[in-house]
Structure 1
């Protein structure tokens, strides 16, 4: 049967219209894709201003982006997905090659530029000034005065706000970022202790235990003595007695100086517990977790005095002045 010409033309027209529609849709998709690609390229070429090093936590890309935003770098959910194309960022300290990079360069360096690290050890009982001037500044090639200025400006207290530990710190870190990192580490440590013991954390209340802990840290011969030394401190305070503890004069740059009778006579700081009653307003040094726990939970004793035994290096504790003086004579 012969197909009418009109029907053939109609089918051809419909077919051509369908092809045109498909082509239009394809061109529209191409335009949208082109705009999207151009937008991504434009986004990746935007400048990012960064510190010379950044700290990347372990975890998902979302956690990494949140961490970067907490350092005042401006990143978005887009970066979270873009990171998938660069590979997973390395955790820890990352070296940034230039102060201003394109976003593309910055995201790429997160996956490739592991920073060179220097180990710094802050020992329990060390003062912040001595640690920053004599250890951190020299090993990290930082300005000691700027380090102290940053500590005093970023912290609510001048002493006792750092946690004794060994830190792996990147070369090239700024004074500001180094102090910020140390203070955040200590805040987490203190919050963990306080919430575990008290159920909450209030910095100014907790800091009183830091002050007591700093005296314990300077005086106790070992960790097992710490609760006993704590009991002596509280017993003397409760009786209105001066603490009269030599280690309290090892503050600031006096950290490793031998305390002498002349120093006790001439020092007029609040740390001279032979001249002043009560506790000082600030900690003497940076303290260990064990010293803090001893300050929170002292041993139950009646001791008011202690004297270092030259033979053992530990202390002998007494409840009366007469027994204490007898111990002094025995040591002589």
Structure 2
């Protein structure tokens, strides 16, 4: 409290009135003002009481007007911002968007995801309304499905109560055929049957430029190997589309154009080579060398004679191929048909794709697996090849 001149009665009256106002304000909050030496009004001085009441009324007026002005300003600001941002909803209509909330996400970061996926019109307004309504409680991680344009209250309820959609997951290892991928998806208990997946995977109508080649008859080779998670109710078409999208993402920096020019092959043919590498390589280090052998044999006009293409033509795996197997009537029989098979025989990894795009520069044309199966022996000498083959018991 500031010091004042006790001889100045006007200062004294002002102070008394100020203290009386403080006491009145407290009494409105606590149900009664505690009287003390500084807050007792002089009952023998009616004039002082009247002045005090007048000052009390004159002070309350500006306070109330100030509060009303603040509320009015906030209301105007809210309306202006709502108009500018189009409201928290006002987004796309007619379909759903999947949003993943991870540990550490804040209301603001999730609001940004909602806006990016056109679930809401403005992340700013969504966050502001959550703050103003007191619904900014901690959100829970999970995978959520929201309708575009869904009500903000409904969205916030789902996020804070953790109403995540049940999911199913599967992993596609490198080197699986389309048929094997169908088995894996069917076993994931996602409600997609093997036949449903095969029908979806045999279509190329997914709008991706890399599927425009007339030689492509299905998505074999493009179903990128990776672990995936989907919401229950996802269709076979949606799953296949997601796998194709992953191929696009993974190969974004692969120089298919440069390789096509250098190797005189299309992207689809290079992917076919990558699938052969995937099925033949015993370790990562020899992928580019196997690619070299494949290209050298093609340039020399030699049949590729790759056993994995025979396995693909048979439709089932066999530990040891017979001479009769090598005579199977199929365009995938690289013992009888020169050049590459009509298409990929499996989904290759990114490492195999990179090896197909950038092969080693060698003169090697033969390779054979070593007895322990950990690597291949490479040579350009036919006699050395036969000797290594005999040592491997082949």
Shift of residue 275, structure 1, vs aligned partner: 1.7
2-side partners of 1:103 and 1:176: how far apart? Answer: 29
Shift of residue 178, structure 1, vs aligned partner: 1.8
* Structure 1 residues 63 and 54: CA distance shift in structure 2, 3 A: closer
Structure 2 residue aligned with 1:321, among 376, 382, 387?
382
**Alignment RMSD (CA, Å):** 4.0
* Equivalent position of 2:172 in the other structure: 122
- Cα displacement string for residues 269-323 of structure 1 (whole angstroms, at most 9, x for unaligned residues): x221112111123211111111111111212222111111223432111212222
Shift of residue 226, structure 1, vs aligned partner: 0.6
* Equivalent position of 1:113 in the other structure: 163
Q: Does 1:54 align with 2:104?
A: no
Structure 1 residue aligned with 2:126, among 82, 96, 105?
82
2-side partners of 1:222 and 1:105: how far apart? Answer: 54
Q: Secondary structure at the match of 2:253?
A: helix
Give structure 1 stretches of 5+ with no counterpart. Answer: 1-21, 70-74, 199-203
Structure 1 residue aligned with 2:197, among 140, 147, 161?
147
CA contact (8 A) 2:255 2:357 kept: no
1-side partners of 2:172 and 2:306: how far apart? Answer: 23
* Equivalent position of 1:297 in the other structure: 358
* Structure 1 residues 287 and 130: CA distance shift in structure 2, 3 A: same
Q: Does 1:189 align with 2:253?
A: no
Q: Does 1:135 align with 2:179?
A: no
Larger relative contact order, structure 1 or 2 (CA cutoff 8 Å, min sep 6): 1
Shift of residue 129, structure 1, vs aligned partner: 2.3
* Structure 1 residues 325 and 171: CA distance shift in structure 2, 3 A: same
* Structure 1 residues 283 and 55: CA distance shift in structure 2, 3 A: farther
CA contact (8 A) 2:126 2:152 kept: no
Shift of residue 256, structure 1, vs aligned partner: 3.8
CA contact (8 A) 2:175 2:346 kept: yes
- Cα displacement string for residues 113-154 of structure 1 (whole angstroms, at most 9, x for unaligned residues): 2233444111111112211x2111221221222222323232
CA contact (8 A) 1:119 1:166 kept: yes
Give structure 2 stretches of 5+ with no counterpart. Answer: 1-67, 103-108, 260-264
* Structure 1 residues 259 and 289: CA distance shift in structure 2, 3 A: same
Structure 2 residue aligned with 1:265, among 290, 311, 327?
327
CA contact (8 A) 1:127 1:255 kept: no
Q: Does 1:240 align with 2:288?
A: no
* Structure 1 residues 214 and 65: CA distance shift in structure 2, 3 A: same
Map residues 65-104 of structure 1 onto 2, 5 A cutoff. Answer: 65-66=115-116, 68-69=117-118, 75=119, 77-78=121-122, 81-82=125-126, 85=130, 93-95=143-145, 103-104=151-152
CA contact (8 A) 1:44 1:103 kept: yes
CA contact (8 A) 2:120 2:150 kept: no
* Equivalent position of 1:14 in the other structure: none
* Equivalent position of 2:291 in the other structure: 230
1-side partners of 2:349 and 2:356: how far apart? Answer: 11
Report the structure number with the largest CA radius of gyration. Answer: 2
Q: Secondary structure at the match of 2:377?
A: strand
1-side partners of 2:380 and 2:341: how far apart? Answer: 24
**Which is richer in helix?**
1
Shift of residue 233, structure 1, vs aligned partner: 0.3
2-side partners of 1:180 and 1:80: how far apart? Answer: 32
Q: Secondary structure at the match of 2:282?
A: coil
Q: TM-score, normalised by structure 1?
A: 0.70
2-side partners of 1:195 and 1:64: how far apart? Answer: 35
CA contact (8 A) 2:112 2:123 kept: no
Shift of residue 253, structure 1, vs aligned partner: 8.6
User: Number of aligned pairs?
Assistant: 286
CA contact (8 A) 1:130 1:253 kept: no
With 166-175 and 83-92 compared, the bigger mean Cα shift is at 83-92
2-side partners of 1:230 and 1:106: how far apart? Answer: 55
